[in-house]
Structure 1
């Protein structure tokens, strides 16, 4: 099986690093599926999205990612996020509460709503898989 080195780093910490066979990330241009040998690419991550990493060993990882960039080389993928949370670290009740509070159309409330929705999607994908 072909492998690539993947590293997911947020401003405050490194969340994951290792060998993977596939990465799925949402960029501002749409979803991007990445396999070893992918063309070199630099993309901006969606403001609030979900990234999936399929490690060579182990179950797929789902991560809620808020802002940042994705740098792809033929054998490497670097995900540099402003903030990121592994799905199993997400407090679903807290995320749901944040979503419930973010009802307005003000830019700050819309951003908070998108972040809460991304956290809930990541937590849901991790429990469904």
Structure 2
């Protein structure tokens, strides 16, 4: 079965490296599916779900990706991720509580810098909830 290599790194370390038959993730332009022998490609990644399917389609790993970059070349997909973790680590109730708290904090915020930070955290929590539910 045709395959390609997927590697994911953060600023700190290599998170994973595995063979895949299919990779699906969200770019700034929308969702994209990658198959073996994909043309060279570079994209900015958005927050959302990343799915890696094994070459023989018997295993699918699902992660939450908070953004980064993707480069595809010579059957190698390299993802430089801001943050990544298995989707099952997302606790919906905790994220919903965090969303409520962040919305309350946004009402009280006094500086533009604080507001931007809270809005970013709110966007991440909402994306986690969406990724887990869909």
Alignment TM-score, normalising by the size of structure 1:
0.81
Secondary structure (helix, strand or coil) at the match of 1:102 reads helix
Question: Could you say which structure has the higher helix fraction?
Answer: 2
Once the two structures are TM-superposed, the CA of residue 6 in structure 1 deviates from its matched residue by: 0.5
Is the deviation greater in 30-39 or in 55-64?
A: 55-64
1:109: how far off?
Answer: 2.4
Q: Provide the alpha-carbon RMSD of the alignment.
A: 2.1
Deviations 1:28-65 (A, max 9, x none): 1221111111111111111x222111123643122111
Count of aligned pairs between the two proteins: 124
Q: Structure 1: 5+ residue runs without aligned partners? A: none
Look at both structures and tell me which one has the larger radius of gyration over its CA atoms: 2
Q: Distance in 2 between matches of 1:123 and 1:86?
A: 10
Aligned with residue 119 of structure 2, among 104, 110, 117: 110
CA shift at 1:122, angstroms? Answer: 3.2
Return the TM-score normalized by structure 2: 0.79
